[in-house]
Chain A
Amino acid sequence: DAKTTQPNSMESNEEEPVHLPCNHSTISGTDYIHWYRQLPSQGPEYVIHGLTSNVNNRMASLAIAEDRKSSTLILHRATLRDAAVYYCILVSGSARQLTFGSGTQLTVLP
Chain B
Amino acid sequence: DAGITQSPRHKVTETGTPVTLRCHQTENHRYMYWYRQDPGHGLRLIHYSYGVKDTDKGEVSDGYSVSRSKTEDFLLTLESATSSQTSVYFCAINQGAGNQETQYFGPGTRLLVL
Contact = CB atoms under 8 A, between A and B. Distances in A.
Contacts, number: 57
B94 A102 contact: no
B101 interface: yes
Interface in B63-114: 90, 92, 94, 96-99, 101-108
Contact of A94 (B101, B104, B108): B101
A17 B11 CA distance: 40
Contacts of B33: 97
Contact of B105 (A32, A41, A45, A101): A45
A43 B108 contact: yes
The SS class assigned to the A binding surface is loop
A96 B94 contact: yes
B44 interface: yes
B99 A100 contact: no
Contacts of B90: 43-44
B75 to A, nearest CB: 18
B42 A103 contact: yes
Interface in A25-60: 32, 34, 36, 41-46, 49, 51
17 contacts: A41-B108, A42-B108, A43-B106, A44-B43, A46-B104, A94-B94, A94-B97, A94-B99, A95-B94, A95-B96, A96-B48, A96-B94, A98-B103, A99-B45, A100-B35, A100-B44, A103-B42
Interface of A: 32, 34, 36, 41-46, 49, 51, 87, 93-103
